[in-house]
Amino acid sequence: MRPLYPPIEPYAQGMLEVGDGQAVYWETSGNPDGKPAVFLHGGPGGGTTPLNRRFFDPHRYRIVLLDQRGCGRSTPHIADGADLSVNTTAHLIDDIEALRAALGIERWLVFGGSWGSTLALAYAQQYPQRVTELVLRGIFLLRRKEIDWYYNGSAGYVYPDEWEKFLAPVPESERDGDLVEAYHRLFGSADPEVVTAAALAWTAWESATSTLRPDPERMAETSDTRFALAFARIENHYFRHGGFLDEAQLLRDIGAITHIPAVIVQGRHDIVCPAVSAWDLHRAWPGSRLHLVDDAAHSAAEPGITHHLVEATDTFATAAHHGR
């Protein structure tokens, strides 16, 4: 089993002004002359962590991390009242492309998990000439049936105890309706305590269901109020708008990227992003390589998932690259 690479620190970092009063945090680590790779975090609203650098060989990769609008170290932060109207998939794609140009990178490997896989696919389909390879984990195509599975009851049959906690902030009269919309109403409350309680419950639901076995450390990390406010409110904003994508758009437009080498890593027991989405993507993209990991759920930190992700970046590290 391949482990993560040892911890490293960035050799450069900064804030990129991207318009709309937004500044996106970015950093680069590893080898300045290595193969460029960009890591797209999940959520949306999750932000990056030092662990994300460790999926890449620091001697062979120029590793680029960025915090998407409104979260992490990007400004303004949702917890500080950032404007969600200028936070859409199109905006995020523009931000990624602006960062690529600002860093003087011609083409790069794009790595994304969960929502990061959604964004990676959308970015690659718009800018296929900028992508050398794709490494995707926990596939999320943002189809309506995926949203309904996770937020409107089906996943609760697997985690009834955690589902009860997820329902708790929602008025009983609204629990049989669309819970994404119910949470949207909670997030619009004038009472900060209502908003905070809803954000913590939304975030706890995802944290509790992301790993095959309970992970108290992950639960503690994501229970931070500032993190939860960004994570929950940005996710809810995107999901109630279908990710600002047409239904099944990422499968419809797959022809734009079928020439790009791709590895898909999927936990068979993933409750957050069920394996059927990875299967549908692979069937639409026969040239992709799919790893269904039998002893894993959603988290990239699970050993089988980590192994195949590092294996993929190690394999692609030897491919020719362009850029600086």
The catalytic residue positions are: 114, 270, 298
- Any idea how long the chain is? 324
Nearest to 322, CA basis, from 134, 136, 130: 130
- Report yes or no: 285 and 262 within 8 Å, Cβ to Cβ: yes
Determine the Cα–Cα distance for residues 249 and 261; give it in Å rounded to an integer: 20
Determine the Cα–Cα distance for residues 168 and 176; give it in Å rounded to an integer: 13
- Report yes or no: 153 and 205 within 8 Å, Cβ to Cβ: no
Instruction: List, in sequence order, the alpha helices (H) in 127-271.
Output: 144-151, 160-167, 179-187, 192-209, 216-222, 225-240, 249-252
- Report yes or no: 299 and 218 within 8 Å, Cβ to Cβ: yes
Nearest to 305, CA basis, from 271, 266, 275, 268: 266
- Report yes or no: 92 and 68 within 8 Å, Cβ to Cβ: yes
Nearest to 158, CA basis, from 250, 59, 241, 274: 274
- Report yes or no: 106 and 322 within 8 Å, Cβ to Cβ: yes
Instruction: List, in sequence order, the alpha helices (H) in the chain.
Output: 89-102, 115-126, 144-151, 160-167, 179-187, 192-209, 216-222, 225-240, 249-252, 275-284, 303-317
Backbone angles phi and psi of 37, in degrees to 5? -145, 140
Backbone angles phi and psi of 131, in degrees to 5? -115, 125
**Tokens in use for 69?**
């609008």
Nearest to 197, CA basis, from 163, 162, 223: 223
